[in-house]
Structure 1
């Protein structure tokens, strides 16, 4: 029935013009169900789904089946309001689903976690799009929630403020591998630091077109170095407000004291963060970034293979100087595994390593980006 029929008769329709889903209750040995239900009102409240071990259930106006990896999938494309989420059969399905796609949900709960009375103990892949009601994915929890989740995809959630608050149980999101967020204009940070440091499996972060995003990780009182040990891919596109990877609770983490005004702040500061297995870094359209790496950060990127930086209006140099940890002239900054480097549409770029530019500026009074060598003996790639 996956691609053949979706015009089920609504339960209250008398006489029934088509087959009704309630008839599935008569199939006592039914264990696998692939079904598309165009009209949500056709779903019986007492549909027996407990016996199902495998299912792909699509409810609402979805034009094609999406690719899912799991054996228990639920896709809701409701295009507005519906009471379908309150039906007991849907609650049972949510509790066992490993793939969940939610699209065009409105006037529902303000957090995804509140949709299920039984939690999401089996859920591995969650995709939520075009659903203006949601302000959080997980607002709070006393027990681990989304503890099996591996993939989190969020797009065009116009009122999403946070993926989660700080008040969640240890173990929540602990298996998360991929996070992709696009077109969520109210979100300011991806994760609080207290949550981010409990993501040991995270391999990919992609954030696109979030207008108020000011940092990926929100700082707390912990001043130790923050590490994502398995992160391999980091892609940040068109984030006009972002200035630092780790940001403070109210504004980008820049000091405004008199003795530090003008200090060069790198987006990635090696004294704060480490990605020992990062292989791909793409930064596009981050207009508030002047410098990409501190020297200590460069030395931690031993596995970096691909670096793309483009459309940065303020980008002066890829590597800046680091106060208190200045690189000696004889010391070489290296990206030993780098195979692909792309620097495009960076109109303020003067050089690759800013320490070379600074010394030349002191001796020549002026540095022209067209006249200065982009690379120098401090950088090896």
Structure 2
């Protein structure tokens, strides 16, 4: 439940004498000699065809009516609820005229309801602080909202495919608003947001034209999900600040949001060759999830030749999903200084459709590079030659259709720094899938004594024409939990399991073609 609703509901239920009624799937109004004693009534999934015309609910403060077949609620039904402060209506049909009796209403949620007649009676709710109008047959923000001087939170979404009409100068006059949610296409003048000095939370779909008007810049916000030419993604408990930007070149409108954005998605965002510093000039300090798709001008994520390159670049990033034609590597350490924290906290890495990508890192891996990575997926990267360091925390690896890939795990990258890697490499790997890798010659090169496959359970190898062997003697001995092994279309494969000479008496013959 929304924070405002939750806190207010808690305040109501924590004061005074309380008596609740909670029912599910009722077909008729519940029988009771005295409804006057209830402070809260909650009826879920009901099919009540005949609501009473009027009952006395002098103490009722919370009412939840969730229907299934759009039953009609008579206007006089609410007449005896003058103390009501929270009202939730779902899948019912009613007239807004009924609300003329609800002078003390503070929270109103209307979800998938049919409204009879006009909504002019909305202006009578002078004490309303929270209004949700979700999936109703209205395509315009009503002017009556201007009468709600105490309104702090507004959620408005409607049926239909057309954009929501936001009358000019309406938003700018809702000066008490702290939260605004319009998760549909609309024609709002974004400059009006600058008049809302109390605004802290925003959910909004906008177009490129709306963002570019008169050098508009979004205000600083505590929580938001803003989508430009894209579908909205609703915030969740873990991630509450989200930007999704599509088909846009200038990012200046978002410069006040970049310092605290947690999830950033850029799709077909052109004219930017780097993320750092081009985008990171505003410092992406709290970024935990980054998705880059079809940003064809992107050449690298971090420009290490830039003298003022931030030392914290991508230090908090947990998820990275990336695709771009010109990108040759994630990071190039041959050109300049790179932060030791770059990609240190990354847990999941997805690389797709990167036709120019040759390697993850050009040059020596920075200290701590990808040390927390658990999932790695690489798909359709036709120029990639080498892939990943043999990381200790890695759990899942999927490499699919990378035509030039010659080696999967780069073990030799750790030989120079044995202190940093006191544990065995790949010791947490549980799944390995290698598919359509015609140039692959080695999954892992010697020395494999640094590697343990003690957790590996599932192995799939398909379409690796140049691969001659899979498990060296050291690796074979570490396969304690292998459950599934599928090998197919590996034309030059000679050996699956290799054994040391002193274990010859336990050796098994070459895996038969029928098994392969």
Alignment TM-score, normalising by the size of structure 2? 0.54
Note if 1:122 corresponds to 2:286: yes
Give the one of 476, 489, 494 matched to 1:345: 489
- Say whether residues 1:302 and 2:429 are aligned partners: no
| 2:300 alignment partner, one of 121, 133, 136 | 136
Partner of 2:402: 239
- Distance of 1:42 and 1:299 partners within structure 2: 52
Residues 7 and 39, structure 1, Cα contact 8 Å, conserved in 2: no
- Secondary structure class of the residue paired with 1:189: coil
- In 1, the alpha carbon distance for the partners of 2:375 and 2:469 equals 25
Q: RCO (CA 8 Å, sep 6+): is it higher in 1 or 2? A: 1
1:32 Cα offset (Å): 0.9
Structure 1 position 9, deviation (Å): 9.3
Residue 332 of structure 2 corresponds to residue 165 of structure 1? yes
Aligned to 1:174: 344
- SS where residue 300 of structure 1 aligns? coil
Aligned to 2:429: 278
Q: In 2, Cα distance between the equivalents of 1:353 and 1:303?
A: 17
The corresponding residue for 2:219 is 49
Is the partner of 1:315 in helix, strand or coil?
coil
SS in 1 for 2:281: coil
Distance 1:338 1:2 in 2: 53
TM-superposed CA distance for 1:350, in Å, is 3.6
- Partners of 1:30 and 1:175 lie apart in 2 by 32
SS in 1 for 2:258: helix
- Partner residue of 2:316? 148
The runs of 5 or more residues in structure 2 that have no matched partner are 1-154, 170-185, 414-423
Aligned residue for 1:73?
A: 242
Q: In the superposition, relative to structure 1, how do residues 332 and 287 fare at CA in structure 2: closer, same or farther (>3 Å)? A: closer
Mapping 1:220-231, distance limit 5 Å? 228-231=391-394
Alignment deviations for residues 265-312 of structure 1 (CA, whole Å, 9 cap, x no partner): xxxxxxxx9211111111111212345456946961111111111111
Report the Cα offset of residue 215 of structure 1. 0.5
Are the aligned partners of 2:409 and 2:443 in contact in 1 as well (CA < 8 Å)?
no
CA contact (8 A) 2:407 2:442 kept: no
Instruction: Give the whole-Å Cα distance in 2 for the aligned partners of 1:43 and 1:168.
Output: 34
Deviation readout 1:209-235 (Å, 9 max, x if unpaired): 111101124xxxxxxxx6522111111
Instruction: Specify the structure having the higher radius of gyration (Cα).
Output: 2
Shift of 1:40: 3.5
Give the whole-Å Cα distance in 1 for the aligned partners of 2:459 and 2:201.
46
Shift in alpha-carbon separation, 1:185–1:247, aligned structure 2, 3 A? farther
Q: 1:191 to 1:36 in 2, by over 3 A?
A: same
Contact kept? 2:425, 2:451, Cα under 8 Å: no
Q: Provide, for residues 328-373 of structure 1, a one-character-per-residue CA deviation record: whole Å limited to 9, x for no partner.
A: xxx97341111221112223334423569xxx9xxxxxx9975799
The match for 1:25 is 194
Offset, 1:43: 4.9
- TM-score, normalisation: structure 1: 0.71
RMSD between superposed Cα atoms in Å: 3.7
- Contact 2:476 2:498 survives alignment (8 Å): no
| Partner Cα distance (2:275, 2:200) in 1 | 31
Q: Does the 8 A contact of 1:214 with 1:247 survive in 2?
A: no
Q: Cα distance 1:18–1:275, how it changes in 2: closer, same or farther (>3 A)?
A: closer
User: By how many angstroms is 1:316 displaced?
Assistant: 2.9
The answer to whether the 8 Å contact 2:235/2:241 transfers is no
Between the aligned partners of 2:340 and 2:451, the Cα distance in structure 1 is 32
Contact residue 390 and residue 410 of structure 2 kept, 8 A:
no
Check the 8 A contact 1:211/1:241 in 2, yes or no. Answer: yes
Matches of 2:450 and 2:456 in 1, distance apart? 9
Aligned length: 316
Please say if residues 153 and 181 of structure 1, whose CA atoms lie closer than 8 Å, have aligned partners that are also in contact. Answer: yes
State whether structure 2 residue 436 is matched by structure 1 residue 289.
no
SS at match of 1:335: coil
Partner residue, 2:99: none
Separation in structure 2 between the aligned mates of residue 8 and residue 104 of structure 1, nearest angstrom: 28
Instruction: Give yes or no for contact 1:279–1:306 (8 Å, CA) kept in 2.
Output: yes
Q: State the distance in 2 between where 1:9 and 1:111 align.
A: 37
Are residues 18 and 63 of structure 1, via their aligned partners in 2, closer, same or farther at CA, if it must alter by over 3 Å? Answer: closer
Matching residue of 1:200? 371
SS at match of 1:206: strand
**In structure 2, distance between residues paired with 1:42 and 1:194:** 39
Q: Answer yes or no: is the 8 Å Cα contact 2:401–2:437 preserved in 1.
A: yes
Task: Answer whether contact 2:203 2:226 (CA < 8 A) is retained.
Answer: yes
Look up the match of 1:318.
Answer: 470
